[in-house]
Amino acid sequence: MFLEPQETMPQTSVVFSSILGPSCSGQGQPGMGERGGGAGGSGDLIFQDGRLISGSLEALMEHLVPTVDYYPDRTYIFTFLLSSRVFIPPHDLLARVGQLCVEQRQQLEAGSEKAKLKSFSAKIVQLLKEWTEAFPFDFQDEKAMAELKAITHRVTQCDEENGTVKKAISQMTQSLLLSLAARSQLQELREKLRSPAMDKGPVLKAKPPAAQKDILGVCCDPLVLAQQLTHIELERVSSIHPEDLMQIVSHMDSRDKHRCRGDMTKTYSLEAYDNWFNCLSMLVATEVCRVVKKKHRTRMLEFFIDVARECFNIGNFNSMMAIISGMNLSPVARLKKTWSKVKTAKFDVLEHHMDPSSNFCNYRTALQGATQRSQTANSSREKIVIPVFNLFVKDIYFLHKIHTNHLPNGHINFKKFWEISRQIHEFMTWTQVECPFEKDKKIQSYLLTAPIYSEEALFIASFESEGPENHMEKDSWKTLRTTLLNRA
């Protein structure tokens, strides 16, 4: 179902095609005071061992809004804002938050308690600040921005004396607009970017001249190439945001009728990163199959094995898996004479790490080790963790499928969303690591723009290197030749 070493061409994972058409510790205890159901679970919020596990949507929304003597736990704010979009569009949630604020404000005004009113206003601004910082894209929606302005306008009315609340709102709004502008520029850049050119190969002669540049002519050091791949991975994965990953859940839910503005942009960022995996796999296969001499093909295979091993050592599991997938594609895997000259011991170790049996148990053990290293790291180099993205998506996908959104009593199964939020939060922590390796524009330009062969061209190049060995291959080769001759 997901991209893994196989003998077929890499494609955008089935998950994407079927879906589209402080640490999150899970502790739900309030940071200040109490609200809603108590520790035992009275009211519409249910707690278990001090942890919020379920509640009605209305109760969960009320639990988000501060009071004079209560402010929600930061992990709850992140988890609820992230998961609530499965049930209600962000602008509608913001409107409900605004209503709750008005109700509390009216109560405080009736009691003529100015000090409490100011305290309450400051907490509302703090909540909005956390929301706009964690999920700025929610406010690209005009309705959400209008609700935000309405709430902040009401809040500033109690701050006419010293203007501290008004100043905080101004800073929050400025930061939000800068974040939205940056994302808008990124979207425009994405539109200009194109996938590497697909080279179909000339008629019957798929191989380029021997003098044509290949990856070894650009970079012959496996460690350097692995570092540049890590640079690209971190740059690309940084464009993915928590709400983008939540689309994996909301797009799957047939009961979810709302569509937030910008959904297609969000799913695009996921598909674009997934597409990078496919392109890297195809580039590896192209670099191997386009080589004329067997000796040089052997060297190319051994080079990519070393690159994959360096990726593993760095913690770049996504590039490692893409390289292994490229070498396991049929046009490459069938080159038996070439493979017979390759020292495959290192490749066997890599395949062991990515063995799909027992739900990729070996990979998950290695990922856990890299995660632990990252948590105790003293340098950016040791903090790098880039998981196999399609396996991460798979985990979120099945976590959502296995556990229901609602319990029999109608409550939202918040225990499920704590876990989804925890995994997404951990992923986002990995994406924020600054790449410690110096960027090499020449190498990156080649990796991102070098033409890659189509599936058809890969098979032609493969058969020209080592002729068909059985009836099935002979039939395939004959069909390809006929197709190309007719096309000519």
Question: Quick one: pLDDT at residue 162?
Answer: 57
Measure the CA–CA gap between 170 and 93, rounded to whole angstroms.
Answer: 22
Confidence of residue 251 (pLDDT cuts 50, 70, 90): low
How do the residues of the chain divide into helix, strand and coil, expressed in percent and rounded to 5?
65, 5, 30
Three-class secondary structure of residue 1 per DSSP: coil
What are the sequence ranges of the domains in the chain?
47-189, 216-254+266-487
80 HSE (CA, 13 A, CB side) = 29
Three-class secondary structure of residue 32 per DSSP: strand
Measure the CA–CA gap between 368 and 426, rounded to whole angstroms.
Answer: 12
DSSP state of 208: P
Question: Quick one: pLDDT at residue 211?
Answer: 53
pLDDT in tens, 178-216: 988 887 776 666 555 545 555 544 444 445 554 568 999
47-189 against 216-254+266-487: fold identical: no
Average pLDDT over residues 379-384: 92
Three-class secondary structure of residue 453 per DSSP: strand
CA nearest to 391, candidates 427, 430, 360: 360
Backbone angles phi, psi at 206, to 5 degrees: -75, -25
Fold of 216-254+266-487: Son of Sevenless (SoS) protein; Chain S, domain 2 (1.10.840)
CA distances (Å), origin 296, targets 6, 338, 341, 342: 24, 9, 11, 11
The two three-digit tokens of residue 282, written as one number: 């195809």
The two three-digit tokens of residue 382, written as one number: 């040791």
Q: How far is CA 300 from the centre of its chain?
A: 31
Question: Quick one: pLDDT at residue 35?
Answer: 53
1 CB contacts (<8 Å, ≥6 apart)?
Answer: 13, 14, 15, 394
DSSP state of 163: -
Lowest mean pLDDT among 156-165, 177-186, 338-347, 435-444: 156-165
Class of domain 47-189: mainly alpha
Residue entry with tokens 């291959």: 473
pLDDT in tens, 22-77: 333 434 333 344 454 433 344 589 999 989 999 999 999 999 999 999 999 999 99
DSSP state of 140: G
Average pLDDT over residues 100-125: 85
CA distances (Å), origin 428, targets 27, 240, 372, 421, 462: 19, 8, 16, 10, 40
pLDDT in tens, 426-455: 999 999 999 999 999 999 999 999 999 999
Question: Quick one: pLDDT at residue 141?
Answer: 85
Average pLDDT over residues 106-110: 82
Backbone angles phi, psi at 70, to 5 degrees: -145, 140
Question: Quick one: pLDDT at residue 258?
Answer: 45
Top pLDDT among 406 and 256 is at 406
Please state the length of the chain.
Answer: 488
pTM for this predicted structure: 0.83
Residue 403 has pLDDT above 60, yes or no: yes
